[in-house]
Amino acid sequence: MTMTLASRPPDGTDAAARPVLAEERRWLGLTATSWQRVLAPLAIGAVVLGLWEAAVWWFEVPAYILPGPWRILRALIDDWGTLSPSLWITLEITGLALLAAVVVGGALAILFTQSKWLEFSLLPYAIVLQVTPIVAIAPLIIIWVNNTLLSLLICAWIVAFFPILSNTILGLNSADHNLLSLFQLYGAGRWQTLRYLRLPAALPYFLGGLRISGGLALIGAVVAEFVAGTGGTASGLAFRILEAGYQLKIPRMFAALALVSLSGIAIFLVLSLVSHLLLRRWHESALRRES
């Protein structure tokens, strides 16, 4: 038997093989949308950097006022031996603060949903910590805590933990009420309901708060380093920014700022990837993103 022209697909491939090819393209990420997500911001960034470099060259702006991107890149390469240890210190504080925010914020969220009296008693104090400017209390924390790393960690944790706490509470309270009634009907205990219903329902909310807290932990670490760096007690990227500003090494200062920005972007991308991997097979937000 031969395949008629009417039964042959327009692209010349076998109809049975088309789902396989589509699945291979999806697995490889070779979709137009994926390329647009990568190429579009890169193109905009290249245009902005090119205009920046051209403006600095055309108007002959001195490097101590505004260095061009090429000068900043050279400073980043030349001063990498000085900037890279500071980068790792800042990332270490950020990572530890984010981990502490996940543990403390997640645990408090579970306790608050299990006991309304506990939530009514302690949640206002968590809100007070959130709305208090970290620049106002960071000097006090640095004075009270003898260990510099621990004081910076506390400052970054204060900034980072509330989004995880509030989002996780929202997620735990957003479990389907019909399913809650079904669990009660079958005699499920409080912790069984928490494990098999509330925690899975709260996972997308928790991951959303985690993406927010990742950037906030970096901001808190940098702000705390700025405060501690004025006394010469920190050696993170914020201290290098202050040091370069005092010495009028403006390209180095911009290089350190670029490392802070790139670190924030990397943290957001990593946490977004974690969220996608955990939700892609069952949650609607990740499923829509794949379609």
DSSP 6: T
Q: What is the pLDDT along the chain (291 residues), one digit of tens a residue?
A: 444 444 444 454 454 445 444 444 454 444 556 677 778 888 998 999 999 999 999 998 998 899 999 999 999 999 999 899 999 999 999 999 999 999 999 999 999 998 889 989 999 999 998 898 888 888 889 889 888 889 999 999 999 999 999 999 999 998 888 988 888 888 888 889 988 999 999 999 999 999 999 999 999 999 988 887 654 444 789 989 988 988 889 999 999 999 999 999 999 999 999 998 888 887 676 665 444
Instruction: Report the pLDDT value the prediction gives residue 213, as an integer from 0 to 100.
Output: 95
In a domain, 77, yes or no: no
In a domain, 14, yes or no: no
Name the 3-class secondary structure at 291.
coil
In a domain, 50, yes or no: no
What CATH number is associated with residue 133? 1.10.3720.10
Please enumerate in sequence order all residues whose Cβ is within 8 A of that of 1, keeping only pairs 6 or more positions apart, or say none: none
How far does the chain reach from its first CA to its final CA, in angstroms? 36
Which value, in Å, is the radius of gyration of the alpha carbons in the chain?
Answer: 25
Instruction: Report the pLDDT value the prediction gives residue 64, as an integer from 0 to 100.
Output: 87
**Structural domain count of the chain:** 1
Nearest to 109 by CA among 35, 149, 161: 161
Full residue range of the structural domain in which residue 266 is found: 87-286
The Cα 86–Cα 105 span in angstroms is 28
Instruction: Report the pLDDT value the prediction gives residue 287, as an integer from 0 to 100.
Output: 64
Under 8 Å between Cβ of 67 and 59: no
The Cα 75–Cα 196 span in angstroms is 53
In a domain, 180, yes or no: yes
In a domain, 172, yes or no: yes
Instruction: Report the pLDDT value the prediction gives residue 103, as an integer from 0 to 100.
Output: 96
